[in-house]
Amino acid sequence: MGVKLLLEKANVPGIRSFEVYRREGGYRSVEKALKEMNPELIVEEVKKSGLRGRGGAGFPTGMKWSFIAKPEGVPRHLVCNADESEPGTFKDRYLMEFIPHLLLEGLIVSSFALGSNDTYIYIRGEYAWITDILEEAIEEAKAAGFLGKNILGTGFDCNIHVQRGAGAYICGEETALIESLEGKRGNPRIKPPFPAIQGLWMRPTVVNNVETLAAVVPIINMGGDEYAKIGVGRSTGTKLISACGNINKPGVYEIDMTISVEEFIYSDEYCGGIKGGKQLKACIPGGSSVPILPANLLLKTAKGETRYMNYESLSDGGFATGSMLGSGGFIVLDEDQCIVKNTLTLARFYRHESCGQCSPCREGTGWMEKILYKIEHGKGSMSDIDLLWDIQRKIEGNTICPLGDAAAWPVAAAIRHFRDEFEWHINNPELSQTSNFGLQHYADPIHVPA
């Protein structure tokens, strides 16, 4: 069993209530931070911890916090990103549903560090029942004096408000989220100015992921240096991984980032192997936006070294032979899955979610979906593969926000690693409607542990 810092207590009966959470040692970090520390010291501890943003980009949290502008007389805001809409990702939901006070505890400490008296949780609209759980938890924390005016008699005021979105993946992008919080369409803003200078209502704002903010609790409790000792290299602490697809035990797992991908997929402590005793074909290891990897490159790097579940190892080899840890949405595909069809559903997703501001993204995502649809339905031609490649290349890097890249990468990686499957579809328009390409890609037998 690895170290658990976030979900250790998630299964304690009644932990959703303030009373049990507090009895289990909850809210100690608020007492420590507000009574024994000051905002600068907290930022310092978070810097020392090496914590990197858990929303997908992996930006160092302490550094992000130190960028927040502090103009005289202008309120600052912390915003918690609970939009969680990247296909394959359902970890924040788990944390908020089962141990909501952990998020609130992290939010109070972080709000104190950043000087936010009104902190907002922006949660995806579909998580309506979790909104109720959070609101109830907020009321409990308020009644116990951990939220509201003059918290624990320290003079610090903080309110947490929960706002539901209404069905738009793009609102997970931090500037679109801010627009949405202001009651507008979720159109990302051009940066600069960055939210740390002009964010919500043009005030200095920090946007952080749910898991990032929850991780502040163990960091304050144990100290940044101790936290940094867990994990490896620049992948410090623990990470929540939501595993799904064709595995025996889908679910949310907290890992310390030293375990191998192979262990994660095959050990009974985690995914428990491929369902039905089938073979592993491919995996999207960090949410739908990151490159898909064939089994051989997933378990070992191109150099033949073991691949581990951390930021550095998963991206070893760049996009040519590697992928990314991303949001921790781990999607496993078995031998019966069709890469063309899977890529088509993702292309449809990005077309649906494009906000439409930039032509390469708005038009390109539509074209990619149409062409993939043709190929999947036995109506494609060989030049379509090159056309897809060309379109994805023209989107990448040419848009206001990274959704364009996120739409381009899955298509690029599918063609890069599974071009033969696309060609097979085109050459076998009828056969491909009734059967599957399976595992024919691999010249070398895939390594599957006994």
Partner 1 sequence: MAYIFNDTQMAEFKRLVARYPEGKQKSALLPVLHLAQDSFDGWLPTEALDYVASLLQIEPIEVYEVATFYSMYNLKPVGKYVFEVCQTGPCMISGSDSIIDYIKQVLSIQPGETTKDGLFTLKLVECLGACGYAPMMQVGKIFREHLTKEKVDAIIAEYRQTANNN
Ligand X SMILES: Cc1cc2nc3c(=O)[nH]c(=O)nc-3n(C[C@H](O)[C@H](O)[C@H](O)COP(=O)(O)O)c2cc1C
Q: Is 362 in the site for ligand SF4 (CB under 6 A)?
A: yes
Contact 371, 425 (CB under 8 A): no
**From the CB of residue 259, how many other CB atoms can be counted at a distance below 10 Å?**
18
Contact 175, 189 (CB under 8 A): yes
- Tell me phi and psi for residue 410, to 5 degrees: -60, -35
**Which spans of this chain sit near partner 1 (rule: CB under 8 A)?**
75, 84-90, 93, 118, 120, 124-129, 161, 163-169, 180-186, 201, 242-246, 250-252, 284, 288, 329, 331, 333, 337, 341-342, 345-346, 348-349, 352-353, 355
CA dist 158 to 81, 143, 166, Å? 18, 13, 26
Q: Which of 210, 257, 282, 355 binds ligand SF4 (CB under 6 A)?
A: 355
CA proximity to 75, closest of 117, 121, 122, 120 = 117
Residues binding ligand X: number (CB under 6 A): 24
Q: Segment contacting ligand SF4 (CB under 6 A): 231-239, 252-260, 314-322, 358-366? A: 358-366
Alpha-carbon dihedral angle through residues 254, 114, 162, 8, given to the nearest 10 degrees = 20
Residue whose CB is less far from ligand SF4, 362 or 377? 362
Q: Which of 43, 109, 168, 170 binds ligand SF4 (CB under 6 A)?
A: 170
CA proximity to 333, closest of 292, 289, 376, 287 = 292
Contacts of 352 (CB under 8 A, 6+ apart): none
Q: Is 404 in the site for ligand SF4 (CB under 6 A)?
A: yes
Q: Distance between CA 4 and CA 251 in Å, rounded?
A: 16
- Measured CA angle at 92 (ends 39, 84), to 5 deg: 105
Residue whose CB is less far from partner 1, 52 or 124? 124
Q: Which of 181, 215, 265, 403 binds ligand X (CB under 6 A)?
A: 403
Q: Which of 7, 34, 42, 86 binds ligand X (CB under 6 A)?
A: 86
Q: Is 402 in the site for ligand X (CB under 6 A)?
A: yes
Q: Is 313 in the site for ligand X (CB under 6 A)?
A: no
Q: Distance between CA 243 and CA 222 in Å, rounded?
A: 28
Partner interacting with residue 400 (select from partner 1, ligand X, ligand SF4, none; CB below 5-8 Å by kind): ligand SF4
Residue whose CB is less far from ligand X, 56 or 360? 56
User: Could you list the residues that contact ligand SF4 (CB under 6 A)?
Assistant: 170, 188, 354-358, 361-362, 399-401, 403-404
Judged by the rule CB under 6 A, the positions of this chain that interact with ligand X are 53-57, 59, 61, 81, 83-86, 170, 172-174, 207-209, 212, 401-403, 406
